[in-house]
Amino acid sequence: MKVGVLALQGAVREHLKALARCGAEACEVRTPEEAAACDGLILPGGESTTIGKLMERYGLTDPIKELAVSGRPLMGTCAGMILMAKNIIAGIEGQPRLALMDVTVERNAFGRQVDSFEAEVEFRGVEGGPFRAVFICAPIIREVGEGVEVLATCEDKIVAARQGNLLALSFHPELTSDPRIHRYFLSMCEQAAKELAR
């Protein structure tokens, strides 16, 4: 199994390290061919308008959408979550995106860089106590559609959700040494790979 990390901008190396710590084969994705060869893909945090523009420039938007439509898992963290959302509040006019997940997210909803913080969040489906979540200029999920499961909240705000093979987080699990959320995503990838091999 091979899990990719979209490597255009943002916290790429940290996700590659987190995947390696879990014993997964991880690779950087910059081309349509590299995207198509993945069993799952992580869209990292960074700056969503920049990542979106580069995604368009490198012809990656459609291949990533195809990956998701084929049933292979995507995990978007922070800016990556914004790219996955169907609706964006406080986005930039015409900001390129994947628009895959039935959620409305608000960019920078926890405030600007100075408002970055850490908090303990309970993550549904992840055992072993609360997860220490790092929020950096983080978006919030304001609305979820039918078929979207809320996995975590912080101060009553939705900060993690899942819709089938799509997993979205407001925070950065790659910035702590706790591997549980990457393991959770890897088990989604394993499950999907099994189903696709049938």
Q: Which residues are catalytic?
A: 78, 172, 174
Only segment of 40-48, 54-62, 150-158, 189-197 that touches ligand GLN (CB under 6 A): 40-48
Contact with ligand GLN (CB under 6 A): which of 42, 64, 75, 79? 79
Nearer to ligand GLN, 166 or 192 (CB): 166
DSSP one-letter code for 40: E
Q: Are 25 and 186 in contact (CB under 8 A)?
A: no
Shortest distance in whole angstroms from residue 111 CB to ligand GLN: 10
Could you give the CA distance from residue 66 to residue 116 in angstroms, rounded to a whole number? Answer: 34
Using rule CB under 6 A, residue 141 touches ligand GLN: no
Find where tokens 């995947």 sit: 19
- In DSSP terms, 143 is beta-bridged to 104
Nearer to ligand GLN, 29 or 192 (CB): 29
* Torsion, CA 153, CA 179, CA 32, CA 193, rounded to 10: -90
- In DSSP terms, 6 is beta-bridged to 29
Shortest distance in whole angstroms from residue 136 CB to ligand GLN: 4
118 exposure class (CB count in 10 Å sphere: 0-12, 13-18, 19+): middle
Contact with ligand GLN (CB under 6 A): which of 26, 136, 166, 188? 136
Nearer to ligand GLN, 82 or 168 (CB): 82
Contact with ligand GLN (CB under 6 A): which of 4, 40, 46, 173? 46
Only segment of 26-34, 46-54, 146-154, 184-192 that touches ligand GLN (CB under 6 A): 46-54
Q: Are 169 and 75 in contact (CB under 8 A)?
A: yes
Interaxial angle between packed helices 61-69 and 48-57, expressed in degrees from 0 to 180 and rounded to the nearest 10:
100
Contact with ligand GLN (CB under 6 A): which of 8, 85, 137, 151? 137
- In DSSP terms, 60 is beta-bridged to none
Using rule CB under 6 A, residue 48 touches ligand GLN: yes
Shortest distance in whole angstroms from residue 8 CB to ligand GLN: 13
Q: Are 189 and 72 in contact (CB under 8 A)?
A: yes
- Residues in contact with ligand GLN by the rule CB under 6 A: 45-48, 78-79, 82, 107-108, 136-137
